Amino acid sequence: MQKKFSRLIYFLVCFIFFIICNFYASNQIISYIKSGHAISDNRVFALNYVQNTGAAFSILQNSTELLIILSVAALIGIFAYIIKHLKTISMKSLFCLALLSAGIAGNMHERIVFGFVRDYFQLKFIDFPVFNVADIFINVGVILLIIIILLKKTRL
Please give the residue range of the domain that contains residue 83.
Answer: 2-152
Q: With pLDDT > 70 as the criterion, what percentage of the chain qualifies?
A: 96
Give the count of domains, the chain. 1
- What sign has the CA pseudo-torsion 98, 31, 117, 46? negative
Q: Which residues contact 142 (CB under 8 A, 6 or more apart)?
A: 100
Q: Residue 48 is inside which H or E element, if any? A: strand 45-52
pTM of the model: 0.90
Given a cut of 80, is residue 74 above it in pLDDT?
Answer: yes
Catalytic site positions: 119, 135
The one-letter code for the residue type at 44 is V
Position 79 scores a pLDDT of 97
Phi/psi for 75 (5° steps) reads -65, -40
pLDDT tens digits along 86-98: 989 999 999 999 9
81 in helix, strand or coil? Answer: helix
pLDDT tens digits along 31-70: 999 898 777 778 888 898 999 988 876 777 778 899 999 9
For residues 108-134, average pLDDT = 93
